[in-house]
Structure 1
Amino acid sequence: MPIIYLLIIGQVGSVLLGCSFLYDIFWVFISKMLFHESVMIVVARGDNTDEDGVPMLLKIPRMFDPWGGYSIIGFGDILLPGLLVAFALRYDWAARKTLQSGYFLWSMVAYGSGLLITYVALNLMDGHGQPALLYIVPFTLGTFISLGKKRGELRNLWMKGQPPRVCTHSHPPPKDSADSAAHVISS
């Protein structure tokens, strides 16, 4: 895999998540102050139209709701953090990391935790819309960066975009051509 591929996914994914984090907060909370209602929630619910809303979201039925209500989550809240999770899996594979010593498992746990906190906040706010990336991004990106820093691999993850080199030789290569012939024969 080209080194630039990992570099682009890691850095662009991080910038994309950060920008989406701010975008989500703006259109859910700040747009309410400017337009007297949350633009993102109105568009997602399909208010003032005869349609069911934007087809880029999932409707999840609320448990124990006698009125049959549902919560909604946009595909961006699934796909954008998915870039980071996919990067973690690819990095783990390239660095030959196990499931527990890698980043993929922890990224998945962080994403699930962020999603769980999103639904807890949604229920605590009595069903008022919440920007899911407000909770998901700090969990996923924060976990990823914290683990990288703790393991001393943050530079490999974000600056170089490549896993540390893994030595595949048990002994150093020979220095001159006479030794190289003997090395090939003995190998």
Structure 2
Amino acid sequence: MSLSSGSDSELCCFFSVSCRERSVSVRSLLLAAVCITLSVIWGVYRNDDRWIWILQDLLGVAFCLNFLKTISLSNFKICVILLSLLLVYDVFFVFITPFLTPNGESIMVQVALGPGAGGKGDSNVVEVPGDQTSSYEKLPVVMRIPQFSALAQNLCMMQFSILGYGDIIIPGLLVAYCHRFDVWMGNSRRIYFISCAVAYAVGLVLTFAVMLLSKMGQPALLYLVPCTLLTSAVLACVRKEFRHFWSGSGTYQVLDESRKPLLSEGDAGRSGGVRSC
């Protein structure tokens, strides 16, 4: 095992540990240690609803960001198909499955809250009692938002509204595509990205408003998908860019062209017997 480092100014970024022809940066090791520590803390204190929801939400944000960084959609047509199908899926498991289950409860809620949960609601966005003495297992697949107004009325119990990761990731794929399309078209103001992000915020507020007015859980995608899809499509039509926005044909052409100089330099370095950094 050997240690290697770069210049003093870049020591934190390039200091690495090598073992058997494999090298790992110290920064990656420290990051892995922090991630493992946070995961273990959540696993130990997952049933303590007084504060563990903060750590669960942080883990959820990291998971969603990593997913959106890893997966990308190449055009608006795929976005429409994917979001529409998942909208039907969400509505089915929220509004239809209660008629098919013996206890009349939504399958989506039971999966989100975990086995044995006694949550109140019928969708990905529900109200659940935060009883710190409860023994049922909680799954880290939802964002938990505490209702402080309910806490003020009952200091012994905390209530949460929950939002599934899918309600963040699925519309987020469209928001990410809008950002890439802005880059491709050279829109310095990021008009597609900002408009789609605002539409997502409006859809989320509408979801919680309907939930509070109807006093029952709502499938978030029922409001998020139309808001984001319609806003993006109308904007593309107004700017007369819908054909390019629909096909997305130029997005990966730009990415491929940006990689060509890097590939040529690498090939030149190999052919000359010199490795380029």
TM-score of Structure 1 vs Structure 2, range by shorter chain: 0.7 to 0.9
Structure 2 residue runs without a partner (length 5+): 1-71, 118-134, 252-277
Q: After superposition, give the CA deviation of every residue in 1:142-166 in whole Å (9 maximum; x if it has no partner).
A: 1001111122111111135337xxx
Q: After superposition, give the CA deviation of every residue in 1:122-175 in whole Å (9 maximum; x if it has no partner).
A: 11122x221000010000011001111122111111135337xxxxxxxxxxxx
Q: Which has the higher strand share?
A: 2
Give the letter for the 1:17 counterpart.
Answer: L
Note if contact 1:41-1:129 (Cα within 8 Å) is conserved in structure 2: no
TM-score (norm 1): 0.76
Residue 24 in 1 paired to residue 113 in 2?
A: no
Structure 1 residue runs without a partner (length 5+): 1-5, 164-187
3-state DSSP of counterpart to 1:69: strand
Runs (4+) of structure 1 exceeding 4 A deviation are: none
Residue 95 in 1 paired to residue 185 in 2?
A: yes
Higher relative CO (Cα under 8 Å, sequence separation at least 6) belongs to: 1
Q: Residues 15-164 of structure 1: matches in 2 within 5 Å?
A: 15-35=81-101, 36-48=104-116, 50-65=135-150, 66-67=153-154, 68-99=158-189, 102-126=191-215, 128-162=216-250
Cα distance, 1:15 vs. partner?
Answer: 1.4
Distance 1:54 1:7 in 2: 28
Cα distance, 1:51 vs. partner?
Answer: 3.6
Cα distance, 1:31 vs. partner?
Answer: 0.7
3-state DSSP of counterpart to 1:58: strand
The alignment covers a number of residue pairs equal to 158
Cα distance, 1:47 vs. partner?
Answer: 4.5
TM-score (norm 2): 0.53
Distance 1:54 1:16 in 2: 25
Aligned to 2:78: 12
Give the letter for the 1:139 counterpart.
Answer: C
Percent identical pairs in the alignment equals 38
